[in-house]
Amino acid sequence: MSSIPRIGYVLKVYPRTSQTFVLTEILAHEKAGLPIDIFSLRRTDDVRFHAALSRVRSPVFQIARVSTKATVVLRELRDHGQHLPGLWDVVRESGANSEDLLQAARLSRYVMDRNIVHLHAHFGTVATVVARLVMKITGVSYSFTAHAKDIFHQIVDEEVLRNKLLDAAGVITVSQFNVNYLKDKYADASGGVRLVYNGLDLEQFRFEQGGERSSVILAVGRLVEKKGFGHLVAACALLRARGVRFRCEIVGGGVLEPELIQQIRELDLEDCVLLEGPMSQEDVKKRISRATLLAAPCVHARDQDRDGLPTILLEAMAMGTPCISTPVTGIPEIVFHEQTGLMVPERNETVLADACERLLSDRKLAVELSANARQLIESQFDIERNTAEIRAFFSQKAGVDLLPAQDQSER
C-alpha cells in the first residue's frame, strides 16, 4: 500500500483528444506536486493525441470493461467481496448494472491498495456512477465536475443526477450559468455546487496581436448539432454572395460530417469552406494564430444538449484571435459584445455573416477585442490559480492535507 495520500481521477475515456481541459488540469496538478492516479473506464478510440499527453507522469489504470455473463460476474464479485466488506450491501441495494458494479469493485481495490483518499470524476455520467459506487463500497469521498451534456441532455435522468449531487462531497461546474441551473433545478441537492472555470496554461497560449492575418474564419469542435456549424456554412454562402473574400476552416470530426459535406456542395462553397478533420492541439493552435477570427455559433440542440463554455473560445481569446459566438449557457460570461468579442443570436445566419464581415474588414476592432479578451483570460482562467482552488477543495473533502507547499503559501 502507498503511504502517500493520493487523488484518483475517474474518466469514462482517457485520453480523449476533445477533452483538452482534463489534460491541462492534470498537468497543472502534477506541476504543483499533487499525487494522482488516473482511471479510465473505456479504452480510447482516438487515433491521434496531443503532444502534451507525453508530459503526464501520473500512472494510468485501465479498468477494463467486463463480461455480462452471470457466472463470470458472480465469480469476480465473490473474489472482490473477500477484500471489500461493503461490496455485498452495495450489490443488494444499489440497483446498479453488473458492468458498473464490477468496475466499481475493481476501482475499490485500487483505492484500498494505493491509499486514494478522494475520487474526482469528470462529467456526471458513467465516471460519476462508478465513483459513487466506490464511495458506497469503501467510504472514500467523491466529487465530480459537471460540464454540459451530463446535465442538459434529454437523456439525463433527473432523479439519478439528484442522487449523484446529494452523495457527492462536492461538485464543481464550469460556468455560473451551470451553477444557477443546478441550484434552481436541484435545490434540495445542490448545496455543494461551486464554480471553477476550466483554465489554460497561459505559457502555452501566448498572445499574438500584431501583424495582419489572412482572411480566415476558423471554427473548431465536434461536428454535432450544438456546435452550430451548419449555420456557419450558411453564413459563408451569404458572405460569398456579398463578394467578401475569405476562407472558412472547420476543424473536427463527428456524426454531421456527411450532412455538412452535402450542404457545402449544394451551396457551391467547396473552394472556400473546408472540413479539415480532427487535429492535435498543437495544429489547432497554429490555425488559431493565423486566423482572422474564430466563430463558435453554438446552439441549443433539439435533444436539449448545449455547450457549457467551449474551451476553444478560451484558447482563441488567450492567443489574440477575436471571437464571435452566441448567448448559449456560459458563453456570455466571457464574450461581452463589442468588448471581448462579438455576440450574435443563435441560428441567425444573416447576423453571423454580418459579424464575420465586420471582423474580416475592421482590423482596429479586432485588435481592441483581442486585447480585452486576453485581459479577461488572464484574470479568470489561469490554470495554476484555478487548480490551486481545486486542490484546496480536494483537501477539504478528503480531510487530508494534500496541498503542496506553493498552495499553502497562498492561503
| Neighbouring C-alpha atoms within 13 Å toward the C-beta of 159 | 0
Give the residue extent of every domain in the chain: 6-199+382-408, 216-380
- CATH architecture type of domain 6-199+382-408: 3-Layer(aba) Sandwich (3.40)
Rounded CA-CA distance 329/177 in Å is 6
Count of H helices and E strands in the chain? 16, 13
Rounded CA-CA distance 95/72 in Å is 19
Q: In what order do the strands lie in the sheet with 60-62?
A: 60-62, 36-42, 6-13, 116-122, 141-146, 170-173, 193-195
- How far from chain centre, in Å, is Cα 54? 20
- Do 6-199+382-408 and 216-380 fold alike per CATH? yes
Q: Give the residues of the chain that fall short of pLDDT 70.
A: 1-2, 46-50, 210-212, 403-411
CATH for 216-380? 3.40.50.2000
For 217, which DSSP code?
Answer: E
Instruction: Note the pLDDT of residue 145.
Output: 97
| Neighbouring C-alpha atoms within 13 Å toward the C-beta of 314 | 25
Strand locations in 110-162 (E): 116-122, 141-146
